[in-house]
Amino acid sequence: MKEWEKNIRRVIPYVPGEQPAVEKMVKLNTNENPYPPAPGVARVLHELNADTLRFYPDPTISLLVEELARFYGLGRDQVFVGVGSDDVLATAFLTFFNSELPVLFPDITYSFYPVWCQLYRIPYKTQPLDENFRIVREDYYRENGGIILANPNAPTSIYEKLELIDDIVSHNKDSIVIVDEAYIDFADGPSAIELIRKHDNLVIVQTFSKARSMAGMRIGYAMGNPELIKALNDVKYSINSYTLNQTAILAGVEAVKDEAYFRENIKRIVDTRERFEESLRALGFSFPKPAANFVFATHREIPAISIFKALRENNIFVRYFDMPRIDNYLRITIGTDEEMDILTSSLRRIIENYK
């Protein structure tokens, strides 16, 4: 080993869901939205004056911050915007988790959390979900250096009631609690945004990648009390002053403005999910009540890995995690009705052939 190689930070990076380049595939593996973004997004890009691209974008991203603040009924100083919710969460880990005590999160949750801890050398301790993949609130009553909870959780798709979040935050007045609400728009319960007024140590993170159909534009945001938002911005300005490019800022504003399209988009996906739940049950699958744009399902007879591989052979991509406790489950993104019908037919054939 050369001497300079010793100075390199060695990490085990997060592995994103594959982006296969297959024609005519059914892609239900990365929780993308099957419908296009709001029409205003296309318009603003098609009308863009490209000459303005020679200028740096607004480092405060004020147009989009204002639009989000208006949408959620918050102050402009209560909203932080970043390059997707992963960027926002990474910045939040770096900014808020600076204790010697371990950060707490469930054993089964978004697999990026331990990656950020390792990268930034943040001590952490996972707390096991119960046998139904539910959060055990008492596990978060102990001393800690911060807490992060995904709600709805991934990959389980389970939504925990606001009362549980409120209770955990109330028991942790000495640390910062982050609630990762990437999938909240598909849940049948409220966001924890309403708890921001009550708790000054609470940060909510959301994204444009799911309900707003803009994974390709990379926009995420955090909401919380002005002191927390300022701390996030200070760290952001210490990494990269200009994060969102001009197209993302303009497109993001259009997406937030069109609330009718947003509601309609969510309704279509929830309707499809409910229809698909029926089909899955009929085929012998069971799953926690889904509250996101995906279902986390296990079959009573056939191992998940076998189904996963058989679907791949039919150019249908779902997500399989080879990890303890969940290695017999598939995470299936909700696509269009047509895509779910193709998947259902394929699953029926796989199950019949298995017998």
Binding map of its own copies across residues 128-167, x = CB under 8 A, - = no contact: -----------------xx---------------------
Size of the site for its own copies (CB under 8 A): 89
| Smallest separation (angstroms) from its own copies to the CB of 80 | 13
3-state secondary structure the chain: CCHHHHHCCCCCCCCCCCCCCCCCCEECCCCCCCCCCCHHHHHHHHCCCHHHHHCCCCCCCHHHHHHHHHHHCCCHHHEEEECHHHHHHHHHHHHHCCCCCCEEEECCCCCHHHHHHHHCCCCEEEECCCCCCCCCHHHHCCCCCCEEEECCCCCCCCCCCHHHHHHHHHCCCCCCEEEECCCHHHCCCCCHHHHCCCCCCEEEEEECCCCCCCHHHCCEEEECCHHHHHHHHHHHHHHCCCCCCHHHHHHHHHHHHCHHHHHHHHHHHHHHHHHHHHHHHHCCEECCCCCCCEEEEEECCCCHHHHHHHHHHCCEECEECCCCCCCCCEEEECCCHHHHHHHHHHHHHHHHHHC
Q: Binder to its own copies among 151, 201, 206, 272 (CB under 8 A)?
A: 201
Binding of its own copies by 33 (CB under 8 A): yes
**Residue 200 binds its own copies, judged by CB under 8 A:** yes
Question: Per-residue x/- mask for its own copies, residues 67 to 106, rule CB under 8 A?
Answer: ----------------xx-xx--x---xxxxxx-------
Q: What is the per-residue binding string for its own copies in 43-62, x denoting contact by CB under 8 A? A: --xx-x-xxxxxxxxxx---
Q: Which is nearer to its own copies, 14 or 351 (CB)?
A: 14
Could you say which of 77, 107, 226, 247 contacts its own copies (CB under 8 A)?
247
The answer to the question of residue 25 lying near its own copies (CB under 8 A) is no
**Does residue 42 belong to the site contacting its own copies (CB under 8 A)?**
yes
229 binds its own copies (CB under 8 A): no
CB of 132 to its own copies, least distance (A): 30
111 part of the interface to its own copies, by CB under 8 A: no
Q: Please, what is the minimum distance in Å from the beta carbon of residue 95 to its own copies? A: 5
Site for its own copies in 296-355 (CB under 8 A): none
